[in-house]
Amino acid sequence: MVDERFVYSCRKHFNLFKAMRIIGKRTPSSRLWLQRQQKDLYVLRAKADGYRSRAVFKLMEIDDRFNFIKNAEFMVDLGAAPGSWSQLLSERSGENAKIAAIDLLDFSAISGVKIFRGDFEDKNNQREIMAYLGQKADLVTSDAAPSTSGHAATDHIRQMNLAKEAYLFSQYALKEGGSFIAKIFQSGEEAEFLRNLKKNFESAKFFKPQSSRSMSAEIYVVATRFKRCS
């Protein structure tokens, strides 16, 4: 049963958010307040809907736009903790779907998802994942993020390196026609990264979900119809 106090809190935040939206001219402080409230609304909504983090809405928006989960049966979620992306993969896929999720951190079980603890860059872990699937994957997703240092340039490089490793994994794991979704930070390298993706995918583009904070440098690459280079 949903806690009535929680529902009231959600409604209160939502009404405040709507009120702010109709204000024609906002001061800098009101804009910052609105951004914080919008962030909080995604957190509240995730809790109300039973998801483990607000990050689920990013994948939800991507899938609503590109519609790739429902046709996927074998999937791998990289950097999966705390598990909200894996939750959505399981929720939107068919009964026979096989989903493997891996992260360095522990996270609790998810119905329909096999969880692996470890580094997805490790070849042994990759072999274990593929052995579990029993065949090549239809979809590889990565919302993985490195430990941040507080230095923007360093963090952007680390995030891009992680995305590149996820891309390498996708080349190993995907079947012909498969899809790849990954988070990157805009750091000046994203155009080259997209060009490299287009060598292996018929379509590759950037997508910025509305649920991603506007001031955040994060953006997602969406690559579809995988093809192996000759």
SS3 call for 90: helix
Question: Per the omega criterion (within 30 degrees of 0), is the bond before 209 cis?
Answer: no
**Given pLDDT bands bounded at 50, 70 and 90, which one contains residue 37?**
low
Its pTM stands at 0.82
Mean pLDDT over 106-121 rounds to 96
Q: Using an 8 Å Cβ cutoff, are 126 and 100 in contact?
A: no
Q: Which of 117, 135, 114 is nearest to 125 (CA)?
A: 117
Asked if pLDDT for residue 206 goes beyond 60, the answer is yes
Query: For 14-66, what is the HEC assignment?
Result: HHHHHHHHCCCCCCHHHHHHHHHHHHHHHHHHHHHHCCCCCCHHHHHHHHHHH
**What is the predicted pLDDT for the residue at 185?**
86
Helix, strand, coil fractions of the chain, as percent rounded to 5 = 45, 20, 35
pLDDT in tens, 48-72: 999 999 999 999 999 999 999 999 9
Tell me the catalytic residues: 183
Mean pLDDT over 122-144 rounds to 98
Region of residue 151 (phi > 0: left; psi between -120 and 50: alpha; otherwise: beta):
beta
Burial of 119 (0-12, 13-18, 19+ CB in 10 A): middle
Give percent of the chain with pLDDT exceeding 70. Answer: 82
Q: What is the dihedral of CA 78, 81, 82, 84, to 10 degrees?
A: 0
174 HSE (CA, 13 A, CB side): 27
The token pair at 145 is: 């993020």
pLDDT in tens, 146-191: 877 777 778 788 889 999 999 999 999 999 999 999 999 887 788 8
Asked if pLDDT for residue 80 goes beyond 90, the answer is yes
